[in-house]
Homo-oligomer: A and B are copies of this chain.
Amino acid sequence: MVPHLVTALTGPINELEQRLLDSVSSIERWFRLEWMEHTPPFYSAVDIRNAGFKLAPVDTDLFPGGWHNLTAPMLPLAVQAAMAAIEKICPEARNLLLIPENKPQCTFYLSNVAQLQKIFRMAGLNVRVGSIDPAIKKNTTVELPGGETVTLEPVIRKKGGGRGRLGLKDFDPCTILLNNSLSTGVPGILEDIHEQYLLPPLHAAASVRFKSTYFKNYEEVAKRFGKLIGADPWLINPLYEKCGEVDFSKPAGRDCVASNADALFTKIRRKYKEYGITEKPFVVVKPDNSGASGADSGHGRQGMGILTLRDAKDLAALQAVQHPAGNVILQEGVITNERMNSAVAEPVVYMMDRYVVGGFYRIHSDRGTDEVLSAPGSSYVPLAFAESTHLPQPGSKPGASTPNRFYMYGVVARLAMLAASYELEATDPDAQDFD
């Protein structure tokens, strides 16, 4: 069950791990106090890159798929966390409507839906799956590889006109759980829902999130956390610069990116020198407004991919950008130095409410340490998170213990989730401004 990790962690990360282990009770208390002030996302998954000398959350998904990759021993934690989440949001709830992605043919994705359905049933809800896919005009039962089935039912809006309750023909849910990241925008049928709980809220949709907002919040979280445990926040926080609207087809646009890249490279090199890191730094340029999940989709709304700069003067790379205009952010690249056998591996941590409930390694044998692993050809190895994220082993040698490494991943994932919580508060259109 415990994956065999072949990466030896080096200096700064070992110190970080040691500080985390020395501070378990203050860290957990700190999170508890944060969650008194802030509402955790209903559920989330965080991709983490471990460069060996620093860690970074590279994607915080607020509509996580892949729940079926969690192993059976992890499920009770998910069920227990789901019970806690429901109890807070709508304790009297009887019916939950789960709205999946529009992928009625993809049994891999639908296995994830079946798993979520199972978790919320065990947590005490009648769960039905309502599709907003225009192709689903009648109840459609899909058989899954494991022999289970999922029935997709067309979602309807009652009392006509888009203002009534959302549900199925004979099913009136108190709560609607989106497992659809609404990456192409919010469909009308989901707008103006008032009497029912819609989770996550529409302003969490990938299509309306900005990476720069997320990373600004994450930077703040990392700084406060660094202060708590007495560690350099850079060890868990990738540096970034924001460029605003850039037209890559014009020299002025490219120059803006190049000068920001230059400033970023200088900062990174300073940090590398401070810690004696001999790796070659790189910078990634990403569209700002495709949500924080750029690593997952690989393509922003403008269709601009993720661009890797090895040098600030790499103008050829900038000139090659196909889709020229958009807001961009530049971010310190973090390599993935975790490996399982010879394949590059990236941990993904799953959370329900404030709790880490499991995770797995995404591995890709054909990709390099500085490439996106969330791509066709990747595979999944369960982490022993169920046994270990809550259970660091203080006596172990730094860097050597898998449970300790997983505890560290669980902490960083929760920091990433906390940043998302700050972000959603700041971008909530219904929030009252008390300033």
Contacts and interface: CB of A to CB of B under 8 A. Distances in A.
Interface of A: 24-33, 35-36, 72-73, 75-77, 79-81, 83-84, 86-87, 91-94, 121-127, 354-355, 386-392
Contacts of A28: 83, 122-125
The CB with the most chain B CB atoms within 10 A, among A28, A35, A80, A386, is that of A80
Nearest to A84: B84
Nearest first, the 4 closest Cβ-Cβ pairs linking A and B are A28-B124, A79-B390, A29-B124, A76-B390
Contact of A75 (B26, B83, B391): B391
A91 B390 contact: no
A77 B357 CA distance: 9
Given A28-B122, A77-B80, 17 more contacts: A25-B125, A25-B126, A26-B124, A28-B83, A29-B125, A32-B91, A33-B92, A36-B91, A36-B92, A72-B387, A73-B73, A76-B77, A76-B386, A76-B389, A79-B390, A80-B81, A122-B390
Contacts of A388: 76
10 contacts: A25-B125, A29-B94, A29-B124, A31-B124, A32-B83, A32-B86, A32-B124, A72-B391, A76-B386, A80-B355
A92 B28 CA distance: 11
B387 A76 contact: yes
Given A36-B91, A122-B391, A80 B79 contact: no
Given A32-B87, A83-B32, A83-B355, A391 B25 contact: no
A261 B391 CA distance: 51
A274 to B, nearest CB: 32
Contacts of A27: 124
Given A29-B125, A124-B28, A126-B25, A390 B80 contact: yes
Nearest to A123: B28
B35 A87 contact: yes
A92 B86 CA distance: 23
A58 to B, nearest CB: 25
